[in-house]
Amino acid sequence: MKNKMRFIIPKLIGATLIVGLLTFVLGLLFKLLIMCTVLGTAIMLIAAKMRNRKSRKVFHGHRSAISPDPQTESYTAVRPQSVDVQSNFAIIPIH
């Protein structure tokens, strides 16, 4: 019995160390993936806020070109000034 213990104990200790090391590495990998996910989400949110802020600035900057009075609502199509208004619109069927 004593010989069996001397034979099994070193292998059991070695297996325990290997399993412990693998668990440690997998834990580090899992933490790294979580950290990358959180960091990527934060970066995407910041980029979206900056993009929205920039688009709002562009929209407010061009608002006076669309309608002279921003309080009035316009229900007509916005056309460039270079396009002449034509009254003879037609529906052209496509077969």
Q: What are 72-79's contacts with CB under 8 Å, separation 24+?
A: none
Asked whether the predicted pLDDT for residue 44 surpasses 90, the reply is: yes
Distance of alpha carbon 28 from alpha carbon 73, whole angstroms: 57
Distance of alpha carbon 30 from alpha carbon 14, whole angstroms: 24
Q: What is the pTM of this model?
A: 0.46
pLDDT, tens digit, 9 for 90 and up, residues 75-95: 666 666 665 556 667 778 887
31 vs 4, higher pLDDT:
31
The predicted model gives 13-27 an average pLDDT of 97
The predicted model gives 30-44 an average pLDDT of 97
How far, CA to CA in Å, does 89 sit from each of 75, 78, 83, 85, 86?
Answer: 19, 17, 14, 10, 7
